[in-house]
Chains A and B, each alone.
Chain A
């Protein structure tokens, strides 16, 4: 992985623009803002219209989106290949479960901490572990770092299996505590209605995930557009020249590893809340195995390396497709079968995202984000054109 080759990707993320004074903001800028706002309103309204199972599918997309944002910062922005994302998901999921579990359980350890604090704690623990890996990461580059981080996944699965007091073991697992915020439970308890629609567990968790995703998204966008993002890209493009420009290369690499791990930790907490069980599967094809690392990598490649909105699109395809296919096939009575040699929804979506990766690398290395940007640019360009002719 030569340095020169990596610079080719610098075009992938738009360079941080200087803040534009309000008077000079064009129609395209306002159009983009309006689009994001419209999307947010739709997402807020969906629980009032969708059935619980579709909401559940949507939640899984949001889990993926949070994790993918973290990975796209690390791999796309800072140029550090990581195959260890599944490990940090496992750490986040386990930390939340252990911190929030009641203290009097027989078989497993629990600290009985408030669930909201446990969530924060889990994110912090994951970030610290990411930081602990940073000295190794700082010495390695490119593919060497990728495979080194892969070893975290295998070590994580081994410890998850060995430390049954924490994870509940691979065969039975353990249940996480129901999430609560200032005493408000994200469960079916209590009556709550909006527009005659009962807001029960699925709807509540939807709003919780949406809030977490929005926070995660805005923080990442802010970081990418600001000084921090510039230092990440400088290190990605050329470590030596970054150092010459006064960027602390080691510190920057460690920082982005911690940030990315924190995101993965949050995604891990969301994963365990979504599955409602913590189970560090023995095989590498379980919930926290190498296939998960690869799925997250697929999300950010398809979305466009380094692009934060792209990570959302990638998560939509990789995590949303199997869910949607499964629901469609049962609702339409279209039997995919479950037996030997069946084309299961998971299998079909694996084909789709495998093919999507190939097509993206071959034809649009900037990913779907670049296609979106081009369309947006063309639209705002024509609009501006019209204005001047008028």
Chain B
């Protein structure tokens, strides 16, 4: 029982990070119907900048720089590439992001070489003993940060002008444009927000407590596991991203312990397949209906 509680807590901590990543996918998809395959490279980019500037700027400064840069890279991808191809459909644009991802990831992995740096952390890395349970501080901080950020996101989504514009655009693009909502502004902000979230997530991914391995191609593939998280929840559901993220975190932690480390990665995808067969648009996604 104790192990189970332990695993559950670990799973929640990881799940919070997956939720941040999944929320990034969902925000972009909601605003533009584009699936961002370049999300993993945003994560790597943020992490890379933290690693190279940590010495000079200190951890906090580097972290802020990393987060902001990941956001700006996302914004640049949207402004420089996606918004330029007005005629291209979301499907082609999703393919375009694959091209971006290949280039950015290959270059960053080349720069990292064989060194696998951790991004380091500002908090005391000693685990806390609580009863028979070991709590990793990284997980606790991740949970706390994710809760704050996600709450802030939902408040903004509900009450701010941006949130209202975004929801209007997701509902009906033409109608939103008719009432004077600038779609380019909404789209750009969505990408910026997704990039910022990716930049925050990497601060937890590339630590000892999370994956045990530093910043590398593996970080990119962990970000890829947020894909199932977004799909399980439903690509167009912001609340679904949280549920999906936590599901992925729990499945990962439990299957690593009870089955094997090698199986854990496939387990996440297996759970996703089961969810998709039962509900083809994810748990909270809107079902597409066809009118004939």
Contact = CB atoms under 8 A, between A and B. Distances in A.
Interface of A: 1-3, 5-6, 8-9, 81, 136, 139-144, 146-148, 150-151, 154-155, 157-158, 161-162, 239-241, 244, 282-285, 290, 294, 297-298, 301, 340-343, 347, 350-351, 353-358, 361-362, 365
A361 B103 contact: no
Contacts of B101: 354
A298 B292 contact: no
A298 B227 CA distance: 20
Interface in B96-117: 96, 98-103, 106-107, 110-111, 113-115
Interface residues of B, number: 52
Contacts of B73: none
A235 to B, nearest CB: 13
B95 interface: yes
Nearest to A291: B102
A148 B96 contact: no
29 contacts: A2-B33, A9-B92, A140-B276, A147-B228, A151-B266, A151-B273, A155-B266, A158-B262, A161-B262, A284-B221, A285-B217, A294-B102, A297-B98, A298-B102, A301-B98, A340-B114, A351-B107, A354-B99, A354-B100, A354-B101, A357-B99, A357-B102, A358-B99, A361-B93, A362-B81, A362-B84, A362-B85, A362-B96, A365-B88
Question: B interface, by DSSP: helix, strand, loop or mixed?
Answer: helix
Contacts of A151: 228, 266, 269-270, 272-273
B124 interface: no
A241 B90 CA distance: 21
Contacts of B89: 5-6, 8-9
Contacts of B95: 297, 301, 357, 361
B288 interface: yes
Contact of A355 (B84, B103, B272): B103
Contacts, number: 144
A143 B92 contact: no
Contacts of A284: 221
Interface string B222-261: 0010011001000100000000000000000000000000
Nearest to A143: B35
Contacts of B102: 294, 298, 350-351, 353-354, 357
